[in-house]
Structure 1
Amino acid sequence: MSEALTPATLLFVDDEPSILSALRRLFRPHGYRILVAEGGAAGLALLETETVDLIISDMRMPEMDGATFLKQVRARWPHTMRILLTGYADVTSTIAAINDGEIYRYIAKPWDDLEIVKTVKEALERQALEAENRRLTALTQVQNDELKTLNASLEQKVSERTAELRQALTFVEQAHGELKKSFLTSVQVFAGLAELRNGPGGSRLAGHGRRVAEMSRSLALRMGLSDAEAQSIMLAGLLHDIGKLGLPDELLGKPFNTLSQEQRALVMKHPQIGQNILMAIDKFKDVAILVKHHHECFDGSGFPERLAGISIPQGARILALVNDYDALQMGTLVQRPLRQEEALAFLIDNRGKRYDPAAVDAFVKLISETQKGGPSEVPLRSMHLKPGMVLSRDLAHRDGYLLLAKGSPLTSDIIGQLVKLEQAEQQNLTLYIRQEEK
């Protein structure tokens, strides 16, 4: 508040005392702090010890004229506003003052009192705006520097806490290249964190989120849901197990029906934890609801809220069906992995119990049509790969994490990375390539 009440300081420079007195009488009633100097040298000496907001200098003075004086002021105190008084028709000198001293305005003598008072007021207002702009620019720079420091600190903490994943994530970044920049690919990397954990059955978990996402989206579209709804269901499929990141390693991939009561209680918390993680992100609010309820059963026997029938969000009913279908074949739901036909039989047997009848019926038809009309595939070693080929199966590392997902198109860069991986780890990779029917 004290700065706002401090009056502006004006400096009048003229070799004629009468002019200085006239200016002092004119401006003193307006509340300004007034300083005077009888010449340019005296004005420069005064500026060495005083902070001045605005200078009014006469043009014609002995030893140092106004143009020279204001040029030096500009060089040493550039933020001080500068006004020139000129009492004769010396156009050349006035132009020099405008160019060299960058004066705010020049006023002819004899001046009009109202005009010169108004000019000073406007000059000080402009000076205040420029000062505020400099302050805000400096503040923005400071805040940007602080944000950079904070980001660097956060990145360091994340790096320390995920050291065991660094090698796998680095390869994913190299393999996906420009694709990793897209929103969907970022979600896939985020969803893959749970699958990168080295718990029992880690290799079986590879690609689970991607498969659930793709099949859930296809089923949603088949059941008449909109593209936007299908997109949300696909994202929920990718992220449905994100709440398992905090589970002990020994529970990951272990069949649910083999867990103890205490272990089941831990596992049953992951849908709610997943929702809590995703709710903080505005784009994921709808997805978070589906993640929370993807273990609800149609007959009300599921968790976490024991919802039943159509009170379960339709996207969650679709996810529950597709998630179990894939889990049955991985062996993470019952004690042994089931064949595809056995998994479908399980869904049909639990129609109206665990699963939405309409979803079961649509899914069985979808699987049947996919088997009839799907493209064939051919296994190839990396040396035989060519850009443009498309994977027909997920490619998993021997340690269990996903390298490339089914449906990924191959580029020269990706093929090169695969060859380097084989050389570095001395293992041969076999990729299944989609072969379209002719």
Structure 2
Amino acid sequence: MSTDTTAEVVCVDDDPEVLRLLQDTLTGHGYSVIGYTSVSEARAGLARHGAEAVISDFKLPDGDGIALLAEVARDHPRSVRILITGYADYAASVRAINEGHCYAYLEKPWRARELLDTLAAGLHGARSIGGALAEVSPTPDANRSLDDLEPLLGAVPQLLGDHKPGHGERVAELLTGFCQHLGLGGAGFESLRLAALVHDVGEAGLPAETRELPESRLAAGARAAFERHPAIAAEWLARHPRLGTAAKIVRLHHERHDGRGFPEGLAGGGIPVPARLLALADAFDEALHGHLFPRRFSEQEACQFVEEERGRRFDPRVVNAFLRWRRQHGPAAATPQAAAGEGVPVSDLREGMVLAEDLTTSTGILLVPAGHRLSAALLSRIRALQGGVSGTVRIRAD
């Protein structure tokens, strides 16, 4: 990943040889580096000049790196914080995320390329999101809903690139329908909808090979990196005064009902309701689009997956309500309504229409799944591909 490497980086390690190696590696790639050998030295130096990134060893002579990085998170919240340790300790990694608010956790012996890529990704994400947040008004416009958050919403797909295209929009749409079914609305719903749109922005810093694998296929090392993304996203979002509630939802959307989730291992009623709703909608869409398992699930298979995870991954009451809603309003319920009429030519599709069947290219590549409501942006992309999209598609008769 290309990024500006003019950042000032503070490195902390009590071993002079390791510290020199860190400094040489980073200065050789354009970074300005200051090194310290203790918590007290680093604390004093950071008080004088701050830093855009801090890389610290875990074990230090007068404290530990996690406590130091927690102080850095408090005093320099925009910094990128990376912990390096020679101890393969899961409890330490959890502390690093929850207390030190670390962007990454690397084990010794670290590889130069891994360190450089991790630092570059962290700086790129923090700068991109920080720039977008600077353009967002600190007070909401009551007449524009989330429209005035466009700088942020536009930055997210740019950061994620080709990773899970359209996923955030689909999850937000799922939750819109589900919450209407539940009778939920107001400011709490707007925060949930925003969280849905941006919940995976923390995955922007993952290596390409990790992002390309379904979640169920991740090896231990890749999974550890993957499990940091909710905390990273939440930290970025929490920098803006309007996004605190959405940030909390994003942070907890991978918690599980049985307590085996991340980053905090919350269980049952300890997980806020909005995070429980987002967890289910997120996993449901990922199952439909091949991000959770190696193949795409049908609507029926995705509903079966949700049913099987009742009481384990998902809150049983949320599962019951969600499946009831899908039976009443999902694609399977809509198909008989649409079958009575003729299909609509692709060229005549309009914003707001809801597909009653999958829209595919002439070679069978899925473009838009059944049940999706067409937006202006989506229609523009469909028309740009019109050479490969022809014929008619059935529209749900609402």
Q: CA deviation at 1:299?
A: 0.9
Work out which of the residue numbers 201, 209, 220 in structure 2 matches 1:250.
209
Give the CA RMSD over aligned residues.
Answer: 3.9
Tell me by how many angstroms 1:184 deviates.
Answer: 5.9
Cα distance, 1:211 vs. partner? 1.2
Compared CA separation, residues 195 and 365, structure 1 to 2 (3 A): farther
Q: Unpaired segments of 5 or more residues in structure 1?
A: 1-157, 163-178
What's the secondary structure of 1:262's corresponding residue?
helix
Hey, what does 2:353 align to over in structure 1?
390
Q: Report SS of the residue matched to 2:253.
A: coil
Query: What is residue 435 of structure 1 aligned with on the other side?
Result: 395
SS at match of 1:210: helix
Deviations 1:199-231 (A, max 9, x none): xxx5xx222111111112322343343332222
Q: Distance in 2 between matches of 1:284 and 1:270?
A: 17
* Whole-angstrom CA distance in 1 between matches of 2:252 and 2:191: 14
AA aligned to 1:435 is I
Is the Cα contact below 8 Å between 1:195 and 1:401 reproduced in 2? no
Contact kept in structure 2, 1:206 and 1:396, CA below 8 Å:
no
Alignment-derived partner of residue 354 in structure 1:
313
- Equivalent residue, structure 1, for 2:158: 193
Tell whether 2:224 aligns with 1:265.
yes
CA gap 1:373/1:435 in 2 versus in 1, 3 angstroms: closer
Residues 280/401 of structure 1: CA separation in 2 closer, same or farther (3 Å cut)? farther
Give the match for residue 326 of structure 1.
285
| Separation in 2, partners of 1:276, 1:356 | 26
Q: Flag the 1:380–1:228 CA change in 2: closer, same or farther, 3 A.
A: same
Q: 1:195 to 1:401 in 2, by over 3 A?
A: farther
Equivalent in 333, 344, 356 of residue 372 of structure 1:
333
Q: C-alpha separation between the residues in 2 aligned to 1:243 and 1:265?
A: 13
Deviation at 1:387, TM superposition (A): 6.0
Whether the aligned pair in 2 keeps the contact of 1:296 and 1:308 (CA below 8 Å) is yes
Of the two, which has the highest radius of gyration?
A: 1
Aligned counterpart, 2:185: 226
Partner of 2:249: 290
Paired AA for residue 290 in structure 2: G
Q: Quick one: distance in 2 between partners of 1:221 and 1:354?
A: 23
Pick one of 161, 169, 177 that aligns with 1:210. 169
Q: In 2, distance between residues paired with 1:182 and 1:211?
A: 17
Call closer, same or farther: CA 1:292–1:316 in 2, change over 3 Å: same
What is the Cα deviation at residue 234 of structure 1?
Answer: 1.3
**Paired residue for 2:373?**
407
Structure-2 separation of matches of 1:389 and 1:304: 37
Equivalent residue pairs, number: 247
Residues 253 and 217 of structure 1: CA distance in aligned 2, closer, same or farther (over 3 Å)? farther
8 Å CA contact 1:187, 1:238 repeated in 2? no
Cα distance in 1 for residues equivalent to 2:246 and 2:232: 13
2:272 matched residue in structure 1? 313
Find the aligned partners of 1:283 and 1:329 in 2 and give their Cα distance: 32
Q: Which residue of 1 aligns with 2:238?
A: 279
Q: Alpha carbons of 1:387 and 1:314: their partners in 2 closer, same or farther (altered >3 Å)?
A: closer
1:88: which partner in 2?
A: none
What is the alpha-carbon distance in structure 2 between the residues aligned to residue 435 and residue 403 of structure 1? 12
Shift of 1:308: 0.7
Contact 2:288–2:297 (8 Å) recurs in 1: yes
Please give the TM-score of this superposition, normalised by the length of structure 2: 0.53
Give the letter aligned to residue 282 of structure 2: N
Q: Distance in 2 between matches of 1:219 and 1:357?
A: 15
The 2-side partners of 1:302 and 1:331 are apart by 21
User: What one-letter code is carried by the residue in structure 1 that aligns with 2:189?
Assistant: A
Choose between structure 1 and 2: higher helix proportion.
Answer: 1
Report the secondary structure of 1:334's partner residue.
Answer: coil
1:395/1:431 contact within 8 Å kept: no
- Partner amino acid, structure 2, of 1:280: R
**Which runs of structure 2 are paired with 1:13-162 in the superposition (5 Å)?**
none
Specify the code of the residue in structure 1 equivalent to 2:395: Q
Contact 1:330/1:338 (CA < 8 Å) preserved in 2? yes
Other structure's SS at 2:285 match = helix
Corresponding position of 1:155? none
Summarize deviations over 1:132-158 as a string: whole Å, max 9, x none.
Answer: xxxxxxxxxxxxxxxxxxxxxxxxxx9
